[in-house]
Amino acid sequence: MTKIYRKKEPHWNYILAIEDDLDRLSRFIEFDERNFDCFSLELSRVLLLSCAEIDVVCKQICKKINQNSKAKNIKNYRDEIMGASSLSTTHELKVLLPRHGIELIPWSSWSETKGVPIWWTAYNKIKHERNGEYHRANLRNALNAAGGLLIMVLYLYEDKAETLDLSPHTKLMTVDDERFYGVTFVGFFGR
């Protein structure tokens, strides 16, 4: 007898892979605010991978909002995503790492008209000027980028997120906002 499995969403699998990398990394770097300025090659890799994926996912979200979207950078994404009434609270969404007692608001800078996340600026600096900007590949930026990606992937797969149909579930990060499409993710994200 053949079992039928649910279709896996590629961006969901990507966030799970990044989360797995972070989970392994937490064995070597204590995920604690006192270590937020710690930087490393592995944190650089997580930051670069997360932000590159955010770029791809945000373009898709903008196309969902407006089929004719020409959004191609973080400022365009901000304007289109924050302009959509159902996504206008993106800047308030919290990502929790319950096991580590960490709460992040990755998109908080989007509350400002021209706001760009600090971790996004770090991503670009590291991508283009790694020799002088490597210190920006720190725990704070890597965790915020991964959390920002989680939020955007949930937006991209909103129908499956609403029905709790994304699996397997996350183990490290959770979204703590009951207003996220009217769904509370308690239990869904391993809490």
pLDDT of 96-123, one tens digit each? 999 999 999 999 999 998 999 999 999 9
Q: 44 is written with which tokens?
A: 């650089």
* Distances, alpha carbon 17 to alpha carbons 110, 134, 150, 169, in Å: 26, 23, 12, 12
pLDDT beyond 80 at 187: no
Phi-psi region of 31 (alpha: psi -120 to 50; beta: other; left: phi over 0): beta
* Distances, alpha carbon 47 to alpha carbons 27, 135, 148, 167, in Å: 18, 12, 11, 23
- Rounded CA separation 118/107 (Å): 9
Burial of 190 (0-12, 13-18, 19+ CB in 10 A): middle
Which contacts (CB < 8 Å, 24+ apart) does range 157-161 have?
157/9, 157/11, 157/12, 160/9
pLDDT of 144-173, one tens digit each? 999 999 999 999 988 777 777 777 888 899
Name, in order, each residue with C-beta under 8 angstroms of 64's C-beta and a sequence gap of 6 or more. 156
Range of weakest confidence among 28-37, 47-56, 181-190: 181-190
Whether the CA torsion 163, 63, 46, 17 is positive or negative: it is: positive
Average pLDDT over residues 178-190: 43
